[in-house]
Amino acid sequence: MSFQINQLKESFQQNGYVVVPNFLDTNELRTVQKNLERLIEITHQKRNYEHAFYANKHDKSSLKQLHRIEEDDFFKTYSTSPRWSSLASVLLDEKVEPALALEWFNKPPNYFHETPPHQDNFYFCFEPPQALTIWLALDHANEKTGCLHFIPGSHLRGIRPHQLSGNLGFSQTIVDFTEEDQQTGVAVTANPGDAVIHHAETIHWAGSNQTTDRNRAALAMVFKAATCQRNQQRFEAYQQSAKPFIQQELRLAEVVE
């Protein structure tokens, strides 16, 4: 087991991402999915558009992101599971703080939105950038359903310039993203229960869901090392840059509903 852990750690530190097959067994995965279904139904009934992003606000099945899941009683407890934090601590090679955020992401069928190329630490603004996201596949993720793509080693080369993307939930995208970057990316497929972990500065993106009958949902948990702190000046600058777009989307939600 220690050999496998060392391999995972070496691969993560070199490439900026790693896959852990069968991170959750069938029973635990079923419990998580059942509670997500409950929370999604509650959120839809409340029409909470501040923390729930839809491709079409009239279509319940088009929900593509759900934030602040940790405020739910079940997930508040679940987010403290040492299974998650221990893995994060091993990969970052230092003690991590409790999970910062728990989010649900989906690419519903028939809504062809892409996730633009970006680096999470442009949003997080952590220094040093000792943070990662554990992305748990809830459905089969492949190139047809819109799996994640990563540029190996990009976490070692700093933050690239970003600008508004026009995509609610992923408001920023890399300004100078090139065709060469696109070709360098590695598509990472995953089965339900697999964990895909990436460093906060690894460049990544995802294509659209090209199917007509399959979701591509995932649960994501963010961890940061105890030694890294948020650069408040950078963070406020990011928030200001994204604020006009987010406010526009929220006003639209109020109008159409």
Q: What is the domain count for the chain?
A: 1
State the chain's mean pLDDT as an integer: 88
Task: Answer with the residue of higher pLDDT: 188 or 40.
Answer: 188
Q: Does residue 220 surpass a pLDDT of 60? A: yes
Q: Which residues pair with 248 in a beta bridge?
A: none
CATH number at residue 153: 2.60.120.620
Query: How many degrees, rounded to 5, is the angle at CA 70 between CA 64 and CA 73?
Result: 120
Least confident span in 46-50, 74-78, 151-155, 235-239 = 46-50
Confidence of residue 58 (pLDDT cuts 50, 70, 90): confident
The stretch 200-229 carries a mean pLDDT of 95
Task: Answer with the residue of higher pLDDT: 178 or 3.
Answer: 178
Q: Does residue 136 surpass a pLDDT of 80? A: yes
Task: Answer with the residue of higher pLDDT: 117 or 256.
Answer: 117
- Number of Cβ within 10 Å of residue 116's Cβ equals 18
The stretch 239-251 carries a mean pLDDT of 61
Residue 115's Cα: distance from chain center in Å? 10
Q: Does residue 246 surpass a pLDDT of 90? A: no
Rounded Cα–Cα distance for residues 114 and 107 (Å): 8
Strands in 2-89 per DSSP E: 17-20, 52-54, 63-66
Least confident span in 30-34, 53-57, 99-103, 140-144 = 53-57
Q: Which domain holds residue 122?
A: 2-256
Rounded Cα–Cα distance for residues 195 and 131 (Å): 16
pLDDT at 216: 96
pLDDT in tens, 75-100: 999 999 999 999 999 999 999 999 99
Q: Does residue 217 surpass a pLDDT of 50? A: yes
Q: Which residues pair with 206 in a beta bridge?
A: 115, 148
Q: Does residue 250 surpass a pLDDT of 70? A: no
pLDDT at 172: 85
